[in-house]
Amino acid sequence: MRFVRMVAAVLFVAAGLAFPAAAAAQTPSIKGGGTTDEMSQFALAISAGRGHFECLMPALMNVQATVTGAEMTGGSSVSFEGTAYVTLPAGNPLGLPPGRTGPAPFTATVASGGPGVGQIDLKIMGMDFPGTVEHGQIRIGT
């Protein structure tokens, strides 16, 4: 009986140690960069659901974001969120004052792939900026 309890205790501890490892393995990582038809340049460096995202849209805005969470939304897509600093140039077509603002909350969704396949959709400051990769690559892993 004592042996059975010891085996049960060992299995219980092993299961407890295995669960966080399995949960962490499901947290997405996103790497990539390039250009889209909407964003002149973008860069993604997200590991275990945390990291950075940047995009430059000339004459419109520059976004420098800190990613605080990410989750798989499909087989080849991930949604992530966080806060960003947005720099707007003078005379921007949004009619907003120039300069740096933030931190502003944002959400984004990406789909893995290269030119014509990869997708990115940034939502920030009440605006939506979807785009398809023209040059570069978005890679999603766990």
Identify the pLDDT of residue 6.
37
Q: What is the pLDDT of residue 74?
A: 78
* Residues in the chain where the model's pLDDT stays below 50: 1-25
The shares of helix, strand and coil residues in the chain, as percent rounded to the nearest 5, are 15, 60, 25
- Which pLDDT value is given to residue 22? 42
The pLDDT score that the predictor gives to residue 50 is 96
Q: For residues 5 and 102, what is the distance between their CA atoms, to the nearest angstrom? A: 56
Q: What is the DSSP string of 72-89?
A: EEETTEEEEEEEEEEEE-
* Residue partners of 103: CB distance under 8 A and separation at least 6: 66, 83, 84, 85
Q: Give the predicted TM-score (pTM) of the model.
A: 0.79
Q: What are the backbone angles phi and psi of residue 38, rounded to the nearest 5°?
A: -110, -40
pLDDT value for 39: 76
Query: Three-state DSSP class for 119?
Result: strand
Distance between the two ends of the chain, CA-based, in angstroms?
41
